[in-house]
Amino acid sequence: MSVYNDILSAKAQNKKLLAILIDPDKFDVKTISQFTNNINKSLISHIFVGGSTVKVEVTQQLVLRLKPLTKLPIVLFPGDVTQISKDADAILFLSLISGRNPKYLIEKQIEAVSILKPTNLEVIPTGYILIENGKETTVQKVTKTTPIGSKNNQLVADTAKAGELLGKKLIYLEAGSGAQNPVPLKMINFVKQDLKIPLIVGGGIRSKKQLVEAYNAGADLVVIGTAFEQNKDFFKELKL
C-alpha cells in the first residue's frame, strides 16, 4: 500500500478524500471503539494523528490502539519530532513554507532523520502553508511565524507552486485548528489553477456544507478535527 499513490489515483478519478484529525492530547481513549466504529462507517478515508504539544508515548499509544480497529491509513501529521510513531502508515513530512522560521523550514526535518531511519514509514514531503483566519491559532504561536493574509491569493498560489517546484508531493493550506474562518474558497480555487500536485485544505471546517464547498473549490483532501471533537452528531451530519 502506498498512501501517496492512493491519494494520486483518487485525484485522477476526481474522488474527494476526507481525513479526520485526532489530537492524542484531547482524545479520550475510553471512547476509541465507538469512535473508530463511527469512522469506519463514514466517508472518512484517512486518519491523521497529530497535535501541537503531544508527548512521545501518547502518539505511539494512540496509533497502536487505532491500528487493529480500522483498515484506514493512519497518517502522522506531526507538530513536532516527538510525534513520530513507527507503527503509523505514513508521515506528512511538513515544511512550513509560508513562514520564515528556519526551525520549521529545515531544522526540525534534520532532527527527524535519525528518528525516521529505523522505521518503515512512508514519508510524504508536504509544503505547509498557514493562512490568516481571523484569530491567532496554536500553529502560529508554536511556530512563531506570520500566516499569509486571507486575501493574498497570488502569494499563496506562488508559495504553493514554489513548493511543488521544490519537489513537495502535497500542498496543505491550513487555517489552523479551530480557525474562526476556514481557508477562503476563492483562495483554494486560485491556488488550484496552476497546481499539479494534490491539495489538502484544513482548519475551521465545521459543516457538511463547508466540506462540499471546499471540494468544489478544488480541495482534493479535506482535514477536519475540531468538529468531530466538539459535535457528537457530526458523523451523522456527514451522512446527510
Binding site for ligand 1GP (CB under 6 A): 21, 174, 177-179, 202-205, 223-227
What is the 8-class DSSP label of residue 145?
-
Burial class (CB in 10 A: 0-12, 13-18, 19+), 113: exposed
By C-beta, is 16 or 113 nearer to ligand 1GP? Answer: 16
Nearest to 93 by CA among 62, 119, 68: 119
Residue 117 CB, nearest approach to ligand 1GP (Å): 26
By C-beta, is 21 or 129 nearer to ligand 1GP? Answer: 21
Q: Report in angstroms the alpha-carbon separations of 48 from 22, 33, 134, 166, 215.
A: 6, 17, 25, 24, 18
By C-beta, is 38 or 226 nearer to ligand 1GP? Answer: 226
Nearest to 16 by CA among 177, 192, 164: 192
**151 phi, psi to nearest 5 deg:** -110, 0
By C-beta, is 174 or 220 nearer to ligand 1GP? Answer: 174
Residue 236 CB, nearest approach to ligand 1GP (Å): 17
Residue 174 CB, nearest approach to ligand 1GP (Å): 5
By C-beta, is 5 or 230 nearer to ligand 1GP? Answer: 230
Q: d(Cα 57, Cα 67) in Å, to the nearest integer?
A: 15
Residue 206 CB, nearest approach to ligand 1GP (Å): 7
Which residues does residue 122 pair with via DSSP β-bridges, in sequence order?
A: 90
Residue 175 CB, nearest approach to ligand 1GP (Å): 7
What cell numbers appear for 2 in the block? 502506498
Sign of the alpha-carbon torsion through 5, 183, 185, 35: positive
Residue 218 CB, nearest approach to ligand 1GP (Å): 16
By C-beta, is 78 or 197 nearer to ligand 1GP? Answer: 78
Q: Report in angstroms the alpha-carbon separations of 27 from 64, 158, 181, 225.
A: 14, 36, 24, 11
